[in-house]
């Protein structure tokens, strides 16, 4: 009888089922960890992008306070929009002994960073004249920036409060 049905090399159905069950259990354990790692990476990118834009706003404000750039009076020295930070403004360079001042373009950002939480360049904006908890931008200037994602971070804080 053994000559008619030689033992085939390979796995039995039971061995395959046990192996697939073990792999499914391992995959189920790894998936939440992977999702948390991806979320943590997006939060890190969000913090980085907020810091980059806020530093650009602060640099603009500093130059406006030092009267090195021309700004409108009602803007309080803050940029009128994010595109101004990318396009740049004319920086006054005063030469000693000369009445005329030379100008050059000062850019604060290479491009507007993307909001990694909503994958868009649309940030929530606040002007100096807006209420601190306002969700509507008044349009006078840009005093602060926040993400439009209403979710909660891994540490329990709201993304909009960052």
Task: Tell me the per-residue pLDDT of 62-105, one tens digit each, with 9 for 90 and over.
Answer: 999 998 888 887 788 899 999 999 999 988 876 655 555 566 88
Q: DSSP label at 130?
A: S
Count CA within 13 A, CB hemisphere, residue 41: 6
Q: Given this model, what pLDDT does residue 132 score? A: 79
Q: DSSP label at 7?
A: P
Average pLDDT for 2-13: 72
Q: Given this model, what pLDDT does residue 27 score? A: 87
Q: Given this model, what pLDDT does residue 7 score? A: 67
Task: Tell me the per-residue pLDDT of 115-142, one tens digit each, with 9 for 90 and over.
Answer: 999 999 999 999 988 887 788 888 889 9
Q: Buried b vs exposed e over 40-64: b needs ≥16 C-beta within 10 Å?
A: eebbeebeebbeebeebbeebbebb
The full 3-state SS of 62-97, as one line of letters, equals: HHHHCCCCCCCHHHCCCCCCHHHHHHCEEEEEECCC
Query: Which pTM does this prediction carry?
Result: 0.77
Cα 55 to Cα 51: distance, rounded to the nearest angstrom: 6
Task: Tell me the per-residue pLDDT of 102-122, one tens digit each, with 9 for 90 and over.
Answer: 668 899 999 999 999 999 999
**Cβ of 39: how many Cβ atoms within 10 Å?**
14
Cα 144 to Cα 124: distance, rounded to the nearest angstrom: 9
Asked if pLDDT for residue 1 goes beyond 60, the answer is no
| Among candidate residues 85, 147, 83, 137, the one with its CA nearest the CA of residue 115 | 147
Assess contact for 141 and 76: CB atoms under 8 A.
yes
Asked if pLDDT for residue 150 goes beyond 80, the answer is yes
Task: Tell me the per-residue pLDDT of 14-41, one tens digit each, with 9 for 90 and over.
Answer: 999 999 999 999 888 888 888 999 999 9
């Amino acid at each position: 009888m053994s000559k008619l049905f030689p033992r085939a090399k390979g796995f039995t159905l039971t061995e395959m089922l046990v192996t697939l069950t073990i792999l499914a259990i391992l995959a189920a354990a790894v998936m939440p960890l992977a999702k948390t790692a991806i979320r943590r990476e997006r939060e890190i990118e969000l913090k980085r992008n907020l810091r980059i834009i806020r530093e650009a706003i602060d640099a603009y404000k500093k130059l406006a306070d030092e009267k090195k750039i021309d700004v409108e009076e009602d803007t309080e020295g803050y940029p009128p929009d994010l595109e101004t930070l990318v396009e740049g403004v004319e920086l006054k360079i005063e030469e000693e002994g000369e009445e005329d001042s030379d100008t050059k373009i000062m850019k604060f950002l290479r491009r507007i960073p993307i909001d990694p939480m909503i994958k868009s360049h649309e940030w929530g904006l606040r002007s100096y004249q807006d209420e601190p908890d306002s969700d509507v931008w008044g349009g006078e200037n840009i005093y602060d920036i926040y993400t439009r994602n209403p979710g909660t971070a891994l540490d329990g804080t709201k993304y909009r409060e960052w």
